[in-house]
Amino acid sequence: MLSQPHEDQSVTFPSVVVIIPALNEAESLPLVLNDLPSTGRVIVVDNGSTDQTASIAEKLGATVVSEPERGYGVACLAGLAEADRLLLQESIPVDVVAFVDADFSDHVHLLGDLIGPILNDEYDFVIGSRLLGERERGAMPPQSVYGNKLACGLMNLFFGGCYTDLGPMRAIRFESLSKMNMVDRNFGWTIEMQLKALRHELRILEIAVPYRRRIGISKISGTISGTIRAGSKILYSLWRYGWSPNRDS
């Protein structure tokens, strides 16, 4: 299902944790953190940065988790482990977990539009679709658009989904995510989550969101080798989490 975004910066979300994987994003991260709506906790996972990403995140009030092993999925898993710790050891309520990128390509001030339907118990999983929204010229190179359309088309065809994008800005009920047993340690994280959301019969919503050119060079689609790795990972992830008889829960 598709919805349109709106902005309401006055709303706060005390039971929401935001996870931001970050690798050398010292320039863009302050913009992201300053634009986020008020949530219970923001976790920045420093994924082996060699710049001031971690210290900047700390100065701006985020919880910083160090994960030196490179990989988007690895960083997300480290963030989830911290969310678990906050819930179990510090008794901080965690009803929803949201993910955004650290490169300021996501319009994170709209994150409340993804969180709201979950807190209102209307949906369990909400994705910001860049392909349905307005994209700044050059924000998604052709190979990125094609890869997203290919992955979503195959998920829709073979697994009964209605996806249009593997959008990085997303929110999901923490209880639902915990049951998924997420394991992917790299580019397949988003596909794994979307396939498992279908398998777990979650109530899924897509919201059209705008998307801007990132600050800095993409670690994936900004390089030829990254694009090839990402394309191969898409096909492998569809097999591993969709067709493989030994697939994870």
Q: Would you call 126 helix, strand, or coil by DSSP?
A: strand
Q: Is residue 168 part of a domain?
A: yes
CA quadruple 120, 111, 238, 82: dihedral sign:
negative
Residues of the chain below pLDDT 70: 1-10, 218-227, 229-230, 245-249
Q: How many residues does the chain have?
A: 249
Q: Of 134, 71, 137, 144, which is closest to residue 107 (Cα–Cα)?
A: 134
Summarised one tens digit per residue, pLDDT across range 68-99 is 999 999 999 999 999 999 999 999 999 999 99
What local confidence, expressed as pLDDT, does residue 233 receive?
76
What local confidence, expressed as pLDDT, does residue 237 receive?
83
DSSP secondary structure string, 178-207? Answer: HTT-----STTHHHHHHHHHHHTT--EEEE
- What's this model's pTM, rounded to 2 decimal places? 0.91
Q: Is residue 248 part of a domain?
A: no
| φ/ψ of residue 9, rounded to 5 | -80, -5
What local confidence, expressed as pLDDT, does residue 234 receive?
79
What local confidence, expressed as pLDDT, does residue 96 receive?
98
What local confidence, expressed as pLDDT, does residue 243 receive?
73
Whole-number Å distance between alpha carbons of 248 and 106:
30
Q: Is residue 155 part of a domain?
A: yes
Give the containing element (helix H, strand E) for 226. helix 224-238
Summarised one tens digit per residue, pLDDT across range 200-215 is 999 999 999 999 999 9
- Strands 12-22 and 96-99, by their bridges, are parallel
* Angle made by CA atoms 135, 137, 140, in degrees to the nearest 5: 65
| Domain boundaries, position 60 | 2-243
DSSP secondary structure string, 85-124? Answer: HHHHHS----SEEEE--SSS-B-GGGHHHHHHHHHTTS-S
Q: Is residue 179 part of a domain?
A: yes
What local confidence, expressed as pLDDT, does residue 34 receive?
97
Residue 237, phi-psi category: left (phi > 0), alpha (psi -120 to 50), beta (remainder): alpha
Asked if 170 contacts 72 with a C-beta cutoff of 8 angstroms, the reply is: no
- Strands 96-99 and 204-208, by their bridges, are unpaired
How many structural domains comprise the chain? 1
CATH of the domain at 144: 3.90.550.10
